Chain A
C-alpha cells in the first residue's frame, strides 16, 4: 500500500473521529453510580428477601421488597454534557438505541451462581454423547453421585467472557457406575435471573481426555481444567492417568483451548492384551506318552506395544513339547506350574497365534482339570505393566 494511501486513510479516520465525537452523548459518571447503586440495592434486596422468606419472616420480607428507599438521591458532581442527538446508525443491521441506557432501571445479570442455587435450578446441558442416559434439557444437577444423575462435581466463578461480570463454570458428570462422562459447562443468568447455559468448555471423549479432575477460573478469565488421558474408576487407580492443566477461553460462540498441552504422551498403561485358548486334549502316542496341543491367540487391542508374558497353569507332569514354542525368548522346558513363555513385542492392534505342544511322559498320569492361561504386558525393561482392563487377560481351559 502506498504512502499517500496510508496518509489518506489516517486522515479519513481523523475526520471520522471528529465527526463521531461531535455526536457522542455522555451520560456521565453520576449515571454510572446510580446504575451500580441501583443494582446493588436490588441484589441485596433479593438476597434479604430470600433469606427472610426461608426463615418465615414473610412480613419483614414484604417490607424489604416494598419499603421506601430512605437513602438520599445521589449527588451529581459532574453534570452530563449536553450534546446533539445521536444519529441512527443506518448502516448497521443491529438494533439502534437513540440514547445511552445505563440508568437505574437497567440490570446486569448476576452470573455468580452458588452451588445451592445451581442445584436448585433446571438447566440445559450440552448434549451428552450417545449412549448416556443422563438428561440434558430441563435437567437438575445432583449433589451426590447416584447412578444416572448429572453430578455437580466442582464449581468456580470468574469473568470468562471478558465482559466485566462474573459467570459460573461447573464440572458435571453423568454418573455411570464408578465412571461416566464429564463436561465443564459455563452458566450465566438472564435479565430475569434465570440460569442460562453459555456453552461447553470441554468434555471427556471416548478417546482422550477420558477424565476431568479439577476446575479453576483464573484472573484473566481463562478456564483451567485438569484433564486426564485415562479414566479412573472400575477398580483401577487414578494414578494410571496422566494429568494436564489446559486453559480454555471464550471465543464468542464457543470455547477454545488457549494454553497447556494439546496431546498426551504415550501412557504405559495404554495396553490391553486379550487372550483366548483351546482346551488340551491328550492322546496316546506310540511311545506310551500322551500328547496334545493348545492353540493360544493373543491380541493387543490398545495403542502401545508390549512384551507378552504367557503363563499356562498346567500340572507339572504336562511338559512343553515340539516346535510350537520356538517363538519364546526363554526356555519353557525349564519352567513348570505354570509353564512360562516370554514372547516378543506385540504391537498395538496386532495379534499372534501359537500352537503349543504338550507331552505327558509314559508312566505319568494327569487326570482332568482346569488350568488358567494368562497373559501379562511388560514394558521395554520387562517390568510388568498394569492394564486398565485386565479381566480379558486370563482364560480358563480344560485338560484331559
Chain B
C-alpha cells in the first residue's frame, strides 16, 4: 500500500509483545500520520519558508485524508495524495488568501526562538527560486523522490525535471556561496 521514500520520523513506539490484534483502519491512519507528518512539514517549510504555515497545511491535508480514509488507504501511494493536497493548499491563491485571513484571526502571541542561521540561509536561497524549481529541489532533497517520481507527480517529462533541478541547484549553490562570503566579509 505505502510507496513512500520519505524518511519515517516521529513514528510511535513499536507495539508491545503479544499484542496481535489486527490493525483497525484508524490505527493504520495513525501509523501513516506518524510516519509522515514531520517529514511533510519539513518539505512544506522549505517550500513556503514558514514552519507554522507548513504545519497547518500538513495537518489540514491529513484531515482531508482522514475524512475519506477508506478510499485513500486503498491508493497505491496515499502519501503522494497527502503531499499533493498539502502543497496545493499552500499554492492555491484563493486558499492562501482565505487561510491568511483566518490565521490573522487566530494568531496568538508567542515568544519563541528564531530559526538557526543555516536554516535562514537555505530558506532565503530557496525563496529566490521559481516555484517549479523550488518544488523540484525540495521533492528531490527532502522528499527523496527520484527524477522519474517527480516527473510523475508534476505531470511533466523527466527532462523538464532534470532542467528544473539543474537550474535550481546552480542558483542555490550561487546563493549559498554568496551568503557564506558575506558572512565571512563581516
B114 and A88 form a contact (CB under 8 A):
yes
- Residues 71-86 of chain A, each 1 if its beta carbon lies under 8 Å from chain B, else 0: 0000001100100111
List residues of B whose CB falls within 8 A of some A CB.
7, 9-10, 12, 26-27, 29-30, 33-34, 37-38, 41-42, 45-46, 48-53, 55-56, 59-68, 81, 84-85, 88-89, 91-96, 98, 100, 102-104, 106-116, 118-120, 122-124, 127, 141-142, 155, 166, 169-170, 172-173, 176
**Chain B, residue nearest A196 (CB):** B94
A162 and B52 form a contact (CB under 8 A):
no
B89 and A98 form a contact (CB under 8 A):
no
A94: Cβ under 8 A from any B Cβ:
yes
A95: Cβ under 8 A from any B Cβ:
yes
- Select A21's contact among B38, B100, B114, B120, beta carbons within 8 Å: B38
B51 and A20 form a contact (CB under 8 A):
yes
B85 and A89 form a contact (CB under 8 A):
no
A-B pair count, CB < 8 Å, reads 222
Q: Contacts A20-B41, A36-B66: A188 and B52 contacting too (C-beta < 8 A)?
A: no
Interface residue stretch chosen among A6-14, A118-126, A337-345, A349-357: A6-14
B41 and A24 form a contact (CB under 8 A):
yes
A333: Cβ under 8 A from any B Cβ:
no
Residues of the A chain whose Cβ atoms lie less than 8 Å from the Cβ of B53: 89, 92, 94-97
Bound CA span A353–B16, Å: 96
- Select A163's contact among B38, B55, B95, B124, beta carbons within 8 Å: B95
A116: Cβ under 8 A from any B Cβ:
no
B118 and A94 form a contact (CB under 8 A):
no
Q: How many residues of A contact B (CB 8 A)?
A: 65
**Chain B, residue nearest A198 (CB):** B94
Residues of the B chain whose Cβ atoms lie less than 8 Å from the Cβ of A13: 46, 122, 141-142
Residues of the A chain whose Cβ atoms lie less than 8 Å from the Cβ of B106: 97, 101
CB proximity of B55 to chain A, nearest CB, Å: 4
Bound CA span A21–B116, Å: 13
CB proximity of A110 to chain B, nearest CB, Å: 11
Interface of B is mostly: helix
Q: Contacts A29-B33, A106-B102: A91 and B64 contacting too (C-beta < 8 A)?
A: no
A182: Cβ under 8 A from any B Cβ:
no
Q: Contacts A91-B123, A97-B56, A252-B92: A32 and B33 contacting too (C-beta < 8 A)?
A: yes
A12 and B52 form a contact (CB under 8 A):
no
A36 and B51 form a contact (CB under 8 A):
no
A108: Cβ under 8 A from any B Cβ:
yes
Residues of the A chain whose Cβ atoms lie less than 8 Å from the Cβ of B111: 85
- Select A8's contact among B49, B116, B173, beta carbons within 8 Å: B173
Residues of the A chain whose Cβ atoms lie less than 8 Å from the Cβ of B176: 8-9, 12
B10 and A85 form a contact (CB under 8 A):
no
CB proximity of B41 to chain A, nearest CB, Å: 5
Q: Contacts A24-B55, A97-B106, A108-B63: A87 and B122 contacting too (C-beta < 8 A)?
A: no
7 contacts between A and B (CB under 8 A): A24-B38, A85-B111, A87-B115, A95-B107, A96-B103, A98-B108, A164-B64
Q: Contacts A8-B173, A89-B51, A101-B56: A94 and B29 contacting too (C-beta < 8 A)?
A: no
